[in-house]
Structure 1
C-alpha cells in the first residue's frame, strides 16, 4: 500500500488501556508458559497497531509541520502516550515475575528480558507529567529548527537547504553562507538556552523521582544499554582520545594541504577538494534511480527491498518548505513498511540517505516477518551498525551517483567517518558533564564544550564567520542533545564496527556481506558485542580493538 493511502485513525488510549488491563488479568490467570505466550501475542498485535498509527501521525507531521491536523495529533501523543507506556511497563513486569519466566525467555530471548528490566527502572506513574513536559520541550525545539527561513541571494532557505552553499568550493560563498546560518542560531540563542536548561532540569527531576542521583544513569537505562555501561563508554572514549584523534588530525591536515590553505578553519571542514566536494550528478530523481540500480545489483534481497520502498512511496526525501530538518528511518508494523524521511539538498548527503537510512530500512525489511516483537527493539549501536556498514558495502556503485568523482567521494567518505568519531565522543562526554552537574548555567555549559573542542578537535578554529558557534554554542544545532540524550555515542561505537566491515571488504567482499546479512537478521535477538564476535568482528570495548582498526584504516588508504 502506498504511504499516502495508508489509513490513519487516532489511538483511543482509554480503550487501549482497558484492553491492556484485560490482557494483564488473562496473563496472570494463565496456567502455563504456552498460555501466557498466547496472551503475549495478542499484546504484540495491539502494540504493532499503536506504533503504526503513532508513526503515521509523526511522519506526516515531519513532512509538513504547518499541517494543523497532524500537528495536533503529535501533540496528542506527546500528552497521552507517557501514561500508556507506563502501563506497558507494568505489563512487562508480569513477564519478569512470571513463574514461567525461564520458558518465556527461551521463546522471546534473554536480551528482551534485560530490556524489560531497564525499562522498569526508567519510568513510573509519578513522572508522567514530567515526561509530557519533556516531549513538549523537544517539540518546541524541533519546530523552531523547522521554522528557519534564511534569506540568501533573494531566496528563502531552511537550514538543510543552506548546506550546499556552506560547502561551496568558493571560500567566500561558504564564509557568507556560514555567517547566515550562525546568525539564525544567534537570533534564537536565548530560547535555545531556555529550552535546554528546562530539559536538563526536567530530566534531572525525573531521575530524582525514580531514586537516581542524577539523570546520567537513567539516561543509560532509557537508551536500553543492555550489554555495556558507563565504564565501557569511558574506556572507549579514552582509546579514541589516545589513538583515533591523532588519525583524525592527520586527515584534517591532509585536507588543509589539498585545499592549499595555510590554516583550516571551520568553514573549510565540509570541503574535501579544491574543486569542491563531490556532488551527485543529475537530479534528485536520478539519485533515487541510481539507488534502485545499485540495490538490484548488490543482491536479490536488497533489490526487492528498494523496489518496494520506491513503489510504495516510502522514501520521502525531496525537500519541502515546511518539512522538519534532518533525516531518519522508522517503521509501520501493520503495513510491514519501513519509512525513510530526509531532505535532499544536492550534496553527498543525499547519497548518504540512500545508503545510511536505507541501511536501517533494509534491516527492518529483512526482519518484518519475525514473530517475536521484542527482536525489533534493537539497541541503537546495533541499529547504527546496520546503516553505517551499508554506506561502505555500497561503495562499488558510487560511480552511479558521482560519475568520474566516485573515488574522490570514497576517499572523503572514509575521512569524514574518521573525523566524525572524535566529534561524536565530544557530544557524549559533554552530556555526561551536563547531567552530572545539572546546576551548571548556560554559560558554564558553553565553556565545558569549548574545553572539549580542544581535546577532541585541537585544530578547530571558527574564525570570524561564526561568532555564535565560536563561543561554545555549536552543540545547540545538534538535535540529539535536545531530543535524544546519550544517543550520540552509539554512532561512534557503530562506526568502528562498520570500519571493521570496510577493512574486511578489501580482503573478501562476499564473506563480509554475508556476515552483515546475518548480523542484520539477528536484530535484537542477541547482545551487541556477542553478535559482533559471532559474526567475525571484534568488540570496540576490548583493549586493542581501536588500535587495530586505526592500523587497518591506514593500510586502507
Structure 2
C-alpha cells in the first residue's frame, strides 16, 4: 500500500484546444515570467535544507514504525490507534517531500540538479514502502472478531474507512515477505512511464508552414493547436508530419506499452485478481460492471457521434472528412488570444452558480499563487492539479490564450477547490479524493462555464460556436476516453491470453476501434492507427481514462441539479460531495448526491443530452 494519497489530477489527454491563430507564448524563459504567474513552492518548504530534513525524517520514522509496531497490531484498540497515528505522521511527511520536489521538476524537466533531488525522493519513498510493506498484510490477518471491535471502537472512528478498505482487499494482500519483496522492486513499476516520457521528450518533429506561411517547429505542445487551424493545409501537414515521426519509433513505443501491460497483468495475477481491470478498480470499490456498462452505453450512442461527424463534414464543406479535420471549429468566432486576466474573470463569472464561498476560494487561488500559468520549453506539457495535505493545491497550466485554455483553467480549479474543501473537512487519512469522484468536480466546472457562455450568447453564430464546443466536449471526454478505455481493455486481454503485443497489432486494434467510433463519415487515414503512441495516460496509469467518461456523465447530472434546484443542490454538492474526500467509497459518495454510477442511467442520460445538443445545432443550421 502506498502512503502517498495526494493524486495528480490531469486534464484529459489530447482534447482539442480551440485555436486557429498563431500560437502566442508571452515568455521565452521561466526567469522572465513575473512572480504573479508562477506558483510559490516556498509555501511548502522555505529552503532545500528543510526539504532534505524531511526526507531523512521520513526514512527514520519508517524504520522506527516497523520496529515498534510490527507483530503487535492486534494487541488493543489503543495500540492500533498509536500505530495509525504513527503511520499518518510518516505518510504526511513522505507525501509533502515527494510532492514538493516533483512540482519543482515539472516546471523544468531538463534541470539535472532537480532531477537528482527527485530521484532522492524516489529512493526515500521506496525505503518507506519497504519498511511499511508489512502493515497491510498484518492488518488483513487480524481476526474478524478483533477487527469488528476495531471498526466500532470510538477511538478508531476516523480510521474506520481506512481499516475497512484493507479488510475489503484482504484476499488480495500477500504475505509479509511477498509484500516486502514487491516493495523493494516497486521503483521498477514506473519504468514504462519514465521511458515513455523521455522518449516522447527526446523525439524531434519536423517543421511545417503555419497559416501565415511562417516555418514553425512542430512539437508535443503545439500539435493539438495546429489540429484546430482553420487552414486545412496546415492541419494536414501537421498531422502527417507528426504521425510519420511517431511511426519511426513505433517498435520502441510498442515495447514500452507491452512492458506496461505485462506489469499490470502480472501484478493482478500475483494478487489473485481475475483481471487487471478488477485489480485497478477494486481498491476503490468500483465494480468491473461500471467499466463494462460504460462501453456498452457508449456503443449505443455511437450513431449520434456518427451523425455529428456527418454534420461536421457538411459544415466544413469537404468531400472527405479526415481525422485532421474533426477538431477544427465549424466557425472561427472566439479564436483570438484571450489574456490570462480575462480568463480568470471568465472562470469566476462562469462558476457563480456554485456560490459566494466557492468564488472566494477561486480568488484566493489566483491571489495566492496557486497557479503556474505559462509554458516554457522544458516545462511539463498539459495541465494538472497536485498538492500535499499540508499545502494548498497547486495548478500547472501551459496557457496559450485559447478558449480551451480557459476551460482547462476551470477544470483544474475544480480539482483544486475540491482538494481544498476535502482537506478542510477531513483528517489526513480520509482526505484523498479518488479519481472517480475528483474528475466529477473538474468537469462540472467546465459544464457550468459553458452554460454561462451559452446564456450570454446573443447571435446565431455565437450559439453555433458554443454548441459545437459542447459537442466537442462530449466527443473528447465521453466518447474519446471510452475509446481509449476500450483499447486499454483489449490489449490487456490480448496479453492475458499470451499473445504478442507489437506495433502492428496495436495499430490494428486501435485503427479498428477508431473506425467503429467515428463511422463511415470519416476517411480511413493511414496515420490514425499510430495515435496510441501519443496517449500519455496509457503509459502513466492503469485503467485511468475511463473515469473521465464516467465523471463527465456524473457532472452532467450534477449541473442539471444545480440548474433545477439552485441553492439546495449547491449545498448538497458541497456538504455531501466536495467535503467528502475519501471518507467513503466513490460510488456511495455520488449516491449521496442522487447519482447512481453503479447503473448505466447517468451515461444514458448524458447520451440524451448529446443528442439534444445535436438537435439544437441542426435546428439553428436549418435557419441559414
* TM-score, reference length from structure 2: 0.78
Deviation at 1:494, TM superposition (A): 0.8
Matched, 1:103 2:148: no
Deviation at 1:383, TM superposition (A): 0.9
Work out the CA distance in 2 between the residues paired with 1:429 and 1:92.
Answer: 32
What's 2:410 paired with? 355
- Matched-pair contact (CA < 8 Å) for 2:425–2:579: no
Cα separation, partners in 2 of 1:292 and 1:446, compared to 1, 3 Å: same
Deviation at 1:478, TM superposition (A): 0.9
Work out the CA distance in 2 between the residues paired with 1:370 and 1:46.
Answer: 21
Cα separation, partners in 2 of 1:295 and 1:496, compared to 1, 3 Å: closer
What's 1:3 paired with? 41
Matched, 1:255 2:312: yes
What's 1:483 paired with? 540
What's 1:17 paired with? 62
RMSD of Structure 2 on Structure 1 (CA): 3.2
Q: Deviations over 1:289-342 (max 9, x none)?
A: 54356557853222332233223322113111001222211112222x111112
What's 1:525 paired with? 583
Work out the CA distance in 1 between the residues paired with 2:220 and 2:586.
Answer: 35
The correspondence of residues 407-486 of structure 1 with structure 2, limited to 5 A, is: 407-408=463-464, 410-420=466-476, 421-438=478-495, 439-442=499-502, 443-459=504-520, 461=522, 467=526, 469-470=527-528, 472-486=529-543
Deviation at 1:239, TM superposition (A): 1.9
Matched residue of 1:342: which SS?
Answer: strand
Aligned match for 2:186, one of 131, 136, 141: 131
Work out the CA distance in 1 between the residues paired with 2:151 and 2:90.
Answer: 24
Work out the CA distance in 1 between the residues paired with 2:269 and 2:568.
Answer: 49
Of 193-202 and 212-221, deviating more is 212-221
Cα separation, partners in 2 of 1:297 and 1:455, compared to 1, 3 Å: closer
- Matched-pair contact (CA < 8 Å) for 1:503–1:552: no
Work out the CA distance in 1 between the residues paired with 2:74 and 2:362.
Answer: 45
What's 1:495 paired with? 552
Of 364-373 and 472-481, deviating more is 364-373
What's 1:535 paired with? 593
- Matched-pair contact (CA < 8 Å) for 2:353–2:562: no
Work out the CA distance in 2 between the residues paired with 1:510 and 1:280.
Answer: 35
Deviation at 1:61, TM superposition (A): 1.2
Work out the CA distance in 2 between the residues paired with 1:19 and 1:330.
Answer: 29
Aligned match for 2:236, one of 158, 170, 175: 175
- Matched-pair contact (CA < 8 Å) for 2:101–2:114: yes
Cα separation, partners in 2 of 1:165 and 1:327, compared to 1, 3 Å: same
Aligned match for 1:385, one of 440, 450, 464: 440
Work out the CA distance in 2 between the residues paired with 1:134 and 1:390.
Answer: 33
What's 2:107 paired with? 63
- Matched-pair contact (CA < 8 Å) for 2:106–2:380: yes
- Matched-pair contact (CA < 8 Å) for 2:73–2:139: no
Of 410-419 and 143-152, deviating more is 143-152
Work out the CA distance in 1 between the residues paired with 2:60 and 2:181.
Answer: 22
Q: Deviations over 1:74-96 (max 9, x none)?
A: 33344552453354453344555
Matched residue of 2:423: which SS?
Answer: coil
Cα separation, partners in 2 of 1:509 and 1:182, compared to 1, 3 Å: farther
Of 22-31 and 347-356, deviating more is 22-31
Of 179-188 and 541-550, deviating more is 541-550
Work out the CA distance in 2 between the residues paired with 1:24 and 1:401.
Answer: 61
Aligned match for 2:362, one of 296, 302, 306: 306
Please list every run of 5 or more consecutive structure 2 residues that lacks an aligned counterpart in the other structure.
1-38, 209-213, 617-624
Matched residue of 2:379: which SS?
Answer: coil
Cα separation, partners in 2 of 1:370 and 1:295, compared to 1, 3 Å: same
- Matched-pair contact (CA < 8 Å) for 1:109–1:525: no
Work out the CA distance in 2 between the residues paired with 1:406 and 1:525.
Answer: 43
Deviation at 1:266, TM superposition (A): 0.6
What's 1:317 paired with? 373
Q: Which structure ranks higher in relative contact order (CA pairs < 8 Å, sequence separation ≥ 6)?
A: 2
Matched, 1:225 2:284: yes
* TM-score, reference length from structure 1: 0.87
Of 45-54 and 59-68, deviating more is 45-54
Cα separation, partners in 2 of 1:249 and 1:132, compared to 1, 3 Å: same
The correspondence of residues 261-280 of structure 1 with structure 2, limited to 5 A, is: 261-275=318-332, 278-279=334-335
Of 17-26 and 134-143, deviating more is 17-26
Aligned match for 2:340, one of 278, 284, 288: 284
Matched residue of 2:222: which SS?
Answer: helix
Matched residue of 1:326: which SS?
Answer: coil
Cα separation, partners in 2 of 1:461 and 1:295, compared to 1, 3 Å: closer
Matched residue of 1:28: which SS?
Answer: coil
The correspondence of residues 111-150 of structure 1 with structure 2, limited to 5 A, is: 111-117=161-167, 121=172, 124-128=179-183, 130-150=185-205
What's 1:41 paired with? 85
Please list every run of 5 or more consecutive structure 1 residues that lacks an aligned counterpart in the other structure.
none
Matched residue of 1:59: which SS?
Answer: helix
Deviation at 1:356, TM superposition (A): 0.9
Deviation at 1:51, TM superposition (A): 0.8
- Matched-pair contact (CA < 8 Å) for 2:444–2:555: yes
Work out the CA distance in 1 between the residues paired with 2:243 and 2:173.
Answer: 37
Matched, 1:185 2:246: yes
Work out the CA distance in 1 between the residues paired with 2:426 and 2:80.
Answer: 15
What's 2:73 paired with? 28
Work out the CA distance in 1 between the residues paired with 2:430 and 2:111.
Answer: 34
